[in-house]
Structure 1
Amino acid sequence: MARTAHPIRKQPEPAAAPTSEQPRRFIKLAEVRSLTTLSTSEIYRRIAAGTFPVQVMLGPKSAVWIESEILAWCEARIAESRGEAA
């Protein structure tokens, strides 16, 4: 039985490696809320205002955030509140 050749799909190019030593990790909304203590509506308000890291859509109904971006946002808020240079 002859096999039909399937066209070779070009793989997407890998994203740039994370700048930190830690591997990139996706976190869901519940963990973002826990880390920031912000409500869901406040998180999305800040995303719309451009003052909070934007989620990554893994599918039509699957949104995640990059943990290092959320942690950096938290650190920047701490530095701001203490008058430190971020």
Structure 2
Amino acid sequence: MRWKNARHQALQKRLDSNMHKWILEGIECWDQKRAMEGKQKDSSDADLVYEHLTKRAVHDGGKLPSQIPVIRKMRYSYSLPPAQS
């Protein structure tokens, strides 16, 4: 247990002493143009649905409905509240 604790403390000291150097080195080496070119556009759920409805579904004829169901109307008496006597 002592060996593990001593090793952890040594690693923590090394990390604390070198962290600022690593951060500055990362900032200096950063190439923003290359990072932006490699980054893919993040798509929201609304964008994905819109793309599917406008682009993909048009070219996929296998998933189109072959028959539109006919819904019969209900009589109006079903939608009215019960008559009060």
Which TM-score band applies after superposition, normalised by the shorter structure? under 0.3
* Higher gyration radius (CA): 2
Name the one with the larger strand percent.
1
TM-score scaled to structure 1, two decimals? 0.19
